[in-house]
Amino acid sequence: MSDPPASAARTRVEFVHRWIPHKRSETVLLLLHGTGGNEDDLVPLGPALAPNASVLSPRGRVLEHGMPRFFRRLAEGVFDVPDLIARTDELAAFIADASAKYGFDPKRVVALGNSNGANIAGAMLLLHPDVLAGAILLRPMVPLEPEKLPNLNGRPVQIVAGRFDELVTYEQTEALAALMRRAGADVSLHWTDAGHRFVRDDLEAMQAWLQVHFPEVVE
């Protein structure tokens, strides 16, 4: 793996990341990129969707043919579950570490994950239910099914799916929504006439969801 840019911050858990503080809200938007992305990919979504939120954007630590990811997969849509669990633990530790380093409230972190990033955000909700205050999952799959479901206790979760997604089926999306609801999450499922890449309608839906559940980051 090549050396990170000099301006990219590091913590002791070795995530290259961006930290962009904002004083108008205590909420932190955790941006989790898709396969082949990096810590800069989703940063423009911060001011576009949640102009009052601070932004924490890590780079995935796994490489697949040179492309960063947050966890390994065995094939398209087939996840290496032990690695997913270990990497989710690692990301949870990073958030705690970053909270201590930058002085933000670890209970005010909202994830926005795209594809691979959405899948590890979903795993975070299922394996570390106290870490995220909410999550937007953009084009996710079911990351795993834990032996015992957590109590998400009304945690707001938005799933943003494409009707013509060439990688994620309708059944997979509905299965994830059902799984999150069984865990007690307050799930909003939004469908757009799009494929795996997100479009403007997705952005409008995400901003509307944030307005309802985390209005302080929008107003």
Active-site positions read: 115, 165, 196
Give the C-alpha separation, 88 to 79, whole Å.
Answer: 13
Encode 69-80: b = buried (16+ Cβ within 10 Å), e = exposed: bbbbbeeeeebe
DSSP code at position 191: E
Place of tokens 């479901």: 149
CA dist list (Å): 45 to 14, 34, 53, 199, 206? 24, 14, 11, 12, 10
Give the C-alpha separation, 158 to 172, whole Å.
Answer: 15
Give the C-alpha separation, 188 to 136, whole Å.
Answer: 9
* Residue 108 identity: R
Give the C-alpha separation, 208 to 35, whole Å.
Answer: 26
Backbone angles phi, psi at 170, to 5 degrees: -60, -45
- Contacts for 38 with CB less than 8 Å, ≥ 6 apart: 16, 59, 68
Q: Do β-strands 186-192 and 67-69 pair in parallel, antiparallel, or remain unpaired? A: unpaired
